Amino acid sequence: MTDARTQERLHVTGRPSWDAYFIRMAHLAATRSTCLRRRVGAVIVKDRMVLATGYNDTPRGVPNCGEGGCGRCASDVPSGTSHDTCLCLHAEMNCVVQAAYHGVAIAGGTIYVTYQPCLICAKMLLNVGLKRIVFEGTYPDPLALDMLKNADVELVHYAGEEIST
């Protein structure tokens, strides 16, 4: 939900808030995903500068989901389960790995994700020192959500805002 000041600024300028801007970038990153079950994107930002992007996909050199790389994606296991059989990296993981691969420090930053992080990703995001997690869609992992709510991190469930394009 946006406050009155933000709504007035949008009305006058037509510019999105920083959260809207970066969550849109996360949605753009999600378009690169090859996952057959859920396309997720993530963007890590610090001081309003994009540091890394990521989307869910198989590791380098492994056939992607559409090519038969990950059997879990083609199965009917319930969402949020059997992560130990999935070959894909989640968008958040790929974002952190991309930053590390290029030697980019992300501690103190914010991650924007199109869905709530799972427990594995939530633990990783806390340990790399991100201070703010902004997510849009829900994910069936109440333990991850509880842990994030109780951690020393600002957790924002982004509700969106109208933006003229």
Based on the residue annotation, tell me whether 92 is a catalytic residue of this protein: yes
Please state the φ and ψ torsions of residue 142, each to the nearest 5 degrees. -65, -30
- From the list 67, 92, 154, 162, the catalytic residue is 92
How far apart (Å, rounded) are the C-alpha atoms in residues 70 and 87?
5
Q: Which of 120, 107, 121, 154 is nearest to 54 (CA)?
A: 121
Residue pair 69/62 in contact (Cβ under 8 Å)? The answer is yes
Q: Could you give the CA distance from residue 81 to residue 13 in angstroms, rounded to a whole number?
A: 44
Catalytically active residues, by annotation: 92
